[in-house]
A = this chain, B = another copy of it.
């Protein structure tokens, strides 16, 4: 890229700060957040790297949206309402002005959708791959948030949306799977490229005291559930037959049911919300699902102990050897 950092900031990034006065049009050394006294600011930070978290050949708009959305998903997992973010872009010689314009147009589209503003950041040149770090800001009622260490035995385990779609989309992009139905193929790829953070859901869970305990699924259902169970010093049983799948995922994976389940519970990049709630909240949750038009599935129970088990319909254990999710 042969344009200067300052041109880039002025022409591409500064317009994204319009409407947030204390970002000073990105012309100062920093931005201000003047939080309402009844609230706490929530801060999260994620780095995404070309060739690791996305393909450099993905549309620039989609890369931008993924970088923002994985952070919005973290805020959702805290029950926070997002309002701003800072972005650092380490770009290399393969990135040109047109690419940056597409990238920032992706950000602009999501800013409208999620009511957030760019309030600062950095642009630097790197000899390495394109590397984007976003720090995202939301707010919660003062000192309150969803946590990981508050799950209690007997609580239901819930998950939003459907599982495995992004992992299946990645398999398609890598040529390891294919679907004859174009719409399904595109849906799965889209789920990998542009996750759907459950921002409203997270806020409702906290605000309506439906749940204390949530996280978003980035490393795979079982790996992330294990973060909750370890932090809460509990165990969990998940029922295989209750796992929620999309039609596209079903169509792609139905020929190998075991592989399907494995991908659904270990595949990452779902960015669905995993949360626990008392049985007494079931009705409220079903109503919330309808209000928000988000599928919410009860997939298991928090148990005493420290085991996380996935049970088949006949009650036998589904064996999973490796929980780890490597992006690619």
A-side residues, CB < 8 A to B, are 4, 22, 24, 27-35, 37, 40-49, 51-53, 74-75, 77-78, 80, 86-88, 90, 119-122, 124-129, 131, 133, 135, 137-138, 140, 142-143, 145, 147-149, 215-216, 227, 231, 324
Contacts and interface: CB of A to CB of B under 8 A. Distances in A.
Q: Which of A34, A119, A138 has the most CB of B within 10 A?
A: A34
A262 to B, nearest CB: 20
A41 B135 CA distance: 14
Given A29-B77, A128-B129, 16 more contacts: A4-B324, A29-B216, A30-B42, A30-B44, A31-B42, A32-B41, A32-B140, A33-B43, A34-B40, A43-B137, A45-B88, A45-B121, A49-B126, A86-B135, A88-B133, A127-B129
26 contacts: A4-B324, A24-B148, A27-B149, A27-B231, A28-B77, A28-B78, A28-B145, A28-B215, A30-B44, A30-B75, A31-B42, A31-B43, A32-B42, A34-B142, A34-B143, A35-B40, A43-B119, A45-B121, A45-B135, A47-B122, A49-B124, A49-B127, A49-B128, A126-B131, A127-B129, A128-B131
Contacts of A44: 29-31, 120
A129 to B, nearest CB: 5
B135 A52 contact: no
A47 B47 CA distance: 11
Enumerate the 6 nearest inter-chain pairs by beta-carbon distance, A residue then B residue, closest first: A128-B128, A37-B37, A30-B44, A133-B133, A29-B74, A135-B135
Contact of A30 (B43, B53, B90): B43
Nearest to A74: B29
A198 B74 CA distance: 34
